[in-house]
Structure 1
């Protein structure tokens, strides 16, 4: 068995559990999968989980700034300038080590728009989803480690 196959097995199992868990606890399933994906696209360790949480959350903040700010500056040229400024700031915050995962920030911003500004449910869904992503990868790597070589076929 390869690490990819092991991670695929645990990802499949935990994806089903996440789908049930999110519904059972009032979280948004698709947002959690974005959190999971954000984690998988990072370096894949504890530090990456924390960075994913921080950047996804700040991304939601930037998205909410644009959503709420639109009431102040309207939909004209000024709104386009604000999008440019916020996009710059989302990249610029990457100068800070814990906020350096810029795709996580953009994913969080997209979640703010995709959830129609419902940040109160978007943030917990993102955070728990990223935790599930961490569990998927780490459990897959553990499965790969403990899978007895005698059960593996050549080419597995």
Structure 2
């Protein structure tokens, strides 16, 4: 079995389970899929990649809240745009730190927060659990592929 097929199978199965978990816990299924996507897109994989993906998602939530509440506080549309520009700069420059190096993960977290109208209490667990599901999708797919190869490599015997 190819790695792609194995990951596709486990991703399909776990996506259905995630949908049920999200509804059961009252989470945002789409935000969970963003967390999952963030892990899959991260250039670093494994547990370290999951950590980087989750931390950048959380940083993005925080930056979005700075934009949302800062814009409300200033109450001026032009100042809101300036604040957005400044925060976007910081969202990128934070990548100098290894654990915050995945810039798309930061923007994913921010976009999820904007899409949820700033409801970070719902976005954060959705992103985090979704990220863990992404990790499990890939790890279980890699395991399945390796398992299928080892079984195929066994010598054939006749009975």
TM-score range, shorter chain: over 0.9
What is the CA RMSD across the aligned residues, in angstroms?
A: 1.0
Shift of 1:76: 2.2
How far apart, in 1, do the equivalents of 2:124 and 2:106 lie? 12
Shift of 1:61: 0.4
Shift of 1:72: 1.4
Number of residue-to-residue matches in the alignment: 150
Shift of 1:71: 1.2
* 3-state SS, counterpart of residue 118 of structure 2: coil
Deviations along 1:73-130, one digit per CA (max 9) or x if unpaired, are: 2242211111110000000111111000110000000011001000011001000000
* 3-state SS, counterpart of residue 137 of structure 1: helix
**Structure 2: runs of 5 or more not aligned:** 154-159
- Structure 1 segments (4+ residues) deviating >6 Å: none
How far apart, in 1, do the equivalents of 2:79 and 2:25 lie? 40
Tell me what 1:142 maps to: 143
Tell me what 1:67 maps to: 68
Tell me what 2:5 maps to: 5
The two structures have a TM-score, normalised by structure 1, of 0.93
How far apart, in 1, do the equivalents of 2:125 and 2:99 lie? 19
Tell me what 1:106 maps to: 107
How far apart, in 1, do the equivalents of 2:45 and 2:4 lie? 14
